Amino acid sequence: EAQVTQNPRYLITVTGKKLTVTCSQNMNHEYMSWYRQDPGLGLRQIYYSMNVEVTDKGDVPEGYKVSRKEKRNFPLILESPSPNQTSLYFCASRLQGAGTEAFFGQGTRLTVV
Amino acid sequence: AQSVTQLGSHVSVSEGALVLLRCNYSSSVPPYLFWYVQYPNQGLQLLLKYTTGATLVKGINGFEAEFKKSETSFHLTKPSAHMSDAAEYFCAVSSAFSGGYNKLIFGAGTRLAVHP
């Protein structure tokens, strides 16, 4: 089954404790992205990757890091989480090219206290 | 620059009534337009998309949308709402030009409630 898998689904952590949210896709998609979803703001792109070892900042990259060492995986790293990073996070993948459909993971609800 | 505006953060309809969710976009280049749906505790899934050709696009679950270039709109409709349609709906725009990265830009979302 074609899917994007994120882990964990829920995470509560304390300020400053490094964490990683994993994302994996099995569709051989070139493009992968991370979004955060906040009420009234829709989805805002954090980082994206056009292929292995090619990543770039999205609209709200501050406080986040990513890596793309393999085509299928695109982890999101919070080196020193802060309460303003409490949010719902989505990983998405799609084929290269205009008009292609994005496939989303189930989401990770992160709370930073 | 591209942007998306969804009018109405919350829409409530009766079961069996018409569903109309509004989306207006801004784009200096030909747009590709999408509607995604998010059910509770789930990720987003594609309802329908407009790329080229017929401006009336049919999607899953009886939804359809019409691309109106003169009005820069891509409103989502369904003739008869069902309780299972209760969800959050997102309109998104992307550039139609190939080559390079075609970013998906999302609207703020509209939460649809369906009551008996």
pLDDT in tens, B24-34: 999 878 889 99
Beta bridge partners of B92: B34, B106
Shortest distance between the Cα of A82 and any Cα of chain B, in A, equals 24
Q: What is the mean pLDDT of residues A54-65?
A: 95
Shortest distance between the Cα of B31 and any Cα of chain A, in A, equals 9
Please determine, for residue A41, whether its predicted confidence score (pLDDT) is greater than 80: yes
CA–CA separation, A85 vs B14, rounded Å?
37
State which residue of chain B sits closest to A106, comparing Cα positions: B43
Three-class secondary structure of residue A87 per DSSP: strand
A105–B42 CB contact, under 8 Å: no
User: Residue A7 has which token pair?
Assistant: 């882990």
The whole-chain average pLDDT of chain B stands at 92
Among candidates B42, B96, B101 on the partner chain, residue whose Cβ is nearest the Cβ of A50: B101
Q: Minimal CA–CA distance to B46: which of A36, A29, A27, A103?
A: A103
Among candidates A40, A56, A105 on the partner chain, residue whose Cβ is nearest the Cβ of B43: A105
Among candidates A31, A99, A102 on the partner chain, residue whose Cβ is nearest the Cβ of B96: A99
pLDDT at B96: 65
- Chain B contacts in chain A segment 24-83 (CB below 8 A): 31, 33, 35, 40-45, 48, 50, 56, 58
Residue A65, exposed/middle/buried by CB under 10 A (0-12, 13-18, 19+)? middle
> Which residue is it, tokens 């994007």?
A4
Instruction: Report the percentage of chain A scoring pLDDT > 70.
Output: 100
Instruction: Report the percentage of chain A scoring pLDDT > 90.
Output: 89
